[in-house]
Amino acid sequence: MFGLIIRIVTKKTLVIFRYFGRPKSFLVLLPIVWALVAFGPAIWWLAVETSRHLLLPSPPTQSLEHYRRNRSLHYYLDDIQTLIEPSLLPCTTPDEMVVLVLVASAPLRFDHRQAIRKTWGAHLPTYFVLGLQGDNIDEQLVDNYVEGKQYSDLIVFDFHDHYQNLTLKTALMMKWTLHRCPQAQFLFKTDDDVLVNPWTLRKVLNENEDTLLLGYNKRDSYLHRDEYKKWYTPRWMLREDYVSQYLSGTGYLISGDFISKLLKNAYEVPMVNLEDVYFTYLVAYRRLGLKLAHERRLSPYKPWLKASCLYWDLASVHSMEPDEMVTAWIKIEQYGKLDNHSDVCWFYNTYLRDFSELALY
């Protein structure tokens, strides 16, 4: 930019010399030189700032280098220790549990965990799975220990908590369930920005007692090759550009009888950073040939309209901020407490549901 300015000034100077001659040219150039001296720094700053804003920033750190070194899931799981876990578990009795909910969270997302505790988490056996994040690990562990003591619902593992490590976190959920809660009929893996409707979830479970893997089936998806995307997957990790189908990682159910088989087969498949694509597509669908059952009520979206019946109709809703979750829960809980859990949204279910699926999600 600065070089361009110099070239323009030089060219104009030669034109002035040829037109006015040397003596008059100095008189003409004097104010120009004075202006450059006076305003030069400002022009330079403006040029630099303009260039900086026109250029794209550096791609975000993706933390994928450990995948280059080793992509064996078994290798990582063997070295990861449990740092904090509840002393009292609902699985200590021999009675069978219908569903165990494990929520992928992060050390600094306390507000999201609190929103879940105040709402749907009180109606289901719910635990939060965390790793270690940032530089102040000791301080974080103290905070997590105090939080875990108070609520008895934290499971903290010794690994770097990062979006690109969700595959490891999900595998740790399965391993923990096998060791600590083997009698659970289903494991519901979800995220801390998901609102769960316990009453609708129980309907989903009752209707799918024999299903091994159930979630929102996303079909015909292309992988992100753009480094600026959160879901970036490099070609050296997964060569194919197209995924025919997978279950959205925002919330899917795994049969308790299927967890061990899914995890053992995952040990034979090189890891990728997209946990839902890895476990439900690469391992379950491609390696095991399992049919991925679709359940629209385990939604990876949230309604555009904040209508109570839209939320009541779904078993899970994604992308919820803590305050949104608390607000939406008020109506859900009211509907859930109605006698016999009658069809409180009969008009919506009869006349509007088909339209809402096309227009609102």
Task: Per-residue pLDDT tens, the chain, 361 aa: give them.
Answer: 545 555 555 555 555 455 555 555 455 555 665 565 566 676 666 666 665 555 555 555 557 878 888 999 999 999 999 999 998 887 877 677 899 999 999 999 999 999 999 999 999 999 999 999 988 899 999 999 999 999 999 999 999 999 999 999 999 999 999 999 999 999 999 999 999 999 999 999 999 999 999 999 999 999 988 888 888 999 999 999 999 999 999 999 999 999 999 999 999 999 999 999 999 999 999 999 999 999 999 999 998 888 898 999 999 999 999 999 999 999 999 999 885 656 778 777 777 776 666 545 5
Same domain, yes or no: 240 and 323: no
Sorted by sequence, the CB contacts under 8 Å of residue 8 that are 6+ apart come out as none
Q: How many angstroms separate the CA atoms of 190 and 192, rounded? A: 7
Nearest to 270 by CA among 311, 245, 237: 237
Note whether 224 and 337 are same-domain residues.
Answer: no
Give the C-alpha separation, 63 to 78, whole Å.
20
DSSP string of 122-171?
GGS-EEEEEEE-SS-HHHHHHHHHHHHHHHS-EEEEEEE--GGGHHHHHH
Range of the domain at 23: 2-54
> Are 148 and 277 members of one domain?
yes
- List the beta strands (DSSP E) in the chain: 82-84, 97-104, 126-132, 154-160, 184-191, 195-196, 213-215, 217-222, 242-247, 251-255, 293-294, 316-317
Helices (H), 273-321: 275-276, 308-312
Buried b (16+ CB within 10 A) or exposed e, 219-254: eebebeeeeeeeebbbeebbeeeebebbbbbbbbbb
The two tokens of residue 273 are 């950073």
Q: What does pTM read for this prediction?
A: 0.83
Residue 299 lies inside a defined structural domain of this protein: no
Pairing of strands 154-160, 82-84: antiparallel
Q: 303 lies in a domain?
A: no
The total of structural domains in the chain comes to 3
107 shares a domain with 35: no
65 domain-assigned: no
CA nearest neighbour of 168 among 86, 67, 90, 236: 67
Residues 125 and 265 in one domain: yes
State the Cα–Cα distance between residues 355 and 212, nearest whole angstrom.
30
Note whether residue 63 is domain-resident. Answer: no
Tokens 């009752």, located at residue: 206
User: Are residue 253 and residue 349 in the same domain, yes or no?
Assistant: no
Element (H, E) at 194: none
